[in-house]
Amino acid sequence: MTDQSKYLEDSRLIETHYGEEYENYYNAIVPPVFLNSLNVFPSIDAYFDSDKNDKHVYVYGRVQNPTVRILEDKIAALEHGTKAFVYSSGMAAATTAVMSVCHAGAHIVCVRNVYGPLNTFLTQYCKEYFQMNVTFVKGDLIEEFEDAVTDNTDLIVLESPSSIVMSLQDISKVVQIARKHNAKTYIDNTYCTPIFQNPLDLGVDIVMHTMSKYIGGHSDIIGGVLIANDEDLLKKLMLHRELYGGILGPMEAWLAIRGLRTIEVRLRQHEKNAMAVAAFLDKHPRVKTVNYPGLPSFPQYDLMKKQQKGNCGLMSFEIDSTMEQTKKFCQALSIFKIGVSWGGFESLVEMPYARMTDQEASWLGASANIIRIHCGLEGDDLLIADLEKAFSIL
């Protein structure tokens, strides 16, 4: 096998070359999609002893697959983790992480602006079926975590920057608190990708990404991944994937490998476009607030600089307008398409809280008419012109 260690020094070499085994597939520069459900063995004993002989064991596709394994090796290396496991969606990864750490009756501390479906999973499913209890924190003040975490806390759930309002948590300080109470920490690192933030280096136990956003990068797959260092934890994350049956399919793995090849160039461009758009919004007279951690006026800019190397194309803002006018503003955009999700090539706009009461939205730190945009790869001049056109109808 080729010596892989030479690729580990630079993330760009991990994305392009690490984890591939050209010699195992006729030296093709791109690995095949291994569309097999099982692998065969020369003898009964060879089957039973398969895990003793080889670093990579392939027996059955719900457990492991060669295309999937290449993707996992790349992501583990990018996140500075021992191993990564990929799942059929970000939520499959997130729920497997929770169920691998928390026991019935567990206490969980979670940031308010965590991805919505994970909030629902914790507060409804885990509560109803496993009597778990969640304490929510806004997350920007470390004292809140100190007050919320108890010796009964199994897990602290972070997302930094968080969904919709992009607020940050001081990751290393939260880790210190967690360790004092023997609680595990989990972070959704989708916003930063492994390129802009590596929480395992800050002591976090489990890092999660949905691959449906920048890792796939082209709005054509659903997938998720968990990365960790602790061997016991990794064993559980792997076993529970096998038992729940939520492994990523080989075709999606292949597309995610292809997405990773260009993740750095894409992200630099998303960041450049988003910085220009955020600066434009920041000085626009109709804009009340812009939530983009890359703006020097962002309240947690110093913390951002401390723990992140950059920011992606996602931001939110509020305009000085009614709900109806704000909807018209969004509908007047033409390059920004109305739709959920983000992280692909295309620019998107949505009003995630538009059907909430003011009280519900304010608990989440925003007004009901907050606008979220994803700056795609179309070009910052075109995106700003599109926004200018929409402002002109107000």
Ligand X SMILES: *Cc1c(COP(=O)(O)O)cnc(C)c1O
**Binding residues for ligand X, per CB under 6 A?**
89-91, 115, 163, 188, 190, 210, 212-213, 222, 224, 341
Nearer to ligand X, 89 or 96 (CB): 89
Nearer to ligand X, 107 or 374 (CB): 374
State how far the Cα of 79 lies from the Cα of 77, in Å rounded to an integer.
5
Question: Cβ distance 199 to 187 under 8 Å?
Answer: yes
Q: Where are the strands (E) in 63-204, listed by range? A: 83-87, 107-111, 133-137, 153-159, 184-188
Q: What is the DSSP string of 304-353?
A: HHHH-S---SEEEEEESS-HHHHHHHHHT-SSSEE-S---SSS-EEE-TT
Q: Which one, 137 or 222, has the nearer CB to ligand X?
A: 222
Least separation in angstroms between residue 277's CB and ligand X is 19
Helix (H), strand (E) at residue 374? strand 371-374
Residue 116: C-alpha distances to residues 25, 131, 332, 362 (Å): 42, 20, 27, 15
Least distance from C-beta 252 to ligand X, angstroms?
A: 10
Q: Specify whether the CB–CB gap between 132 and 105 falls below 8 A.
A: yes
Specify the residue, 92 or 106, whose C-beta has the smaller distance to ligand X. 92
Q: Based on CB atoms, which residue is closest to ligand X, 169 or 212?
A: 212
Give least dist CB 121 to ligand X, A.
11
The answer for residues whose C-beta is within 8 angstroms of residue 193's C-beta and 6 or more apart is 209, 214, 215, 263, 267, 312
Residue number with CB closer to ligand X (154 or 159): 159
Query: In Å, what is the CA distance from 156 to each residue of 66, 139, 174?
Result: 33, 11, 8
Q: In the complex with ligand X, which residue's Cβ is closer, 34 or 191? A: 191
Residue found under tokens 């009340």: 288
Q: How far is the CB of 94 from ligand X (least distance, A)?
A: 6
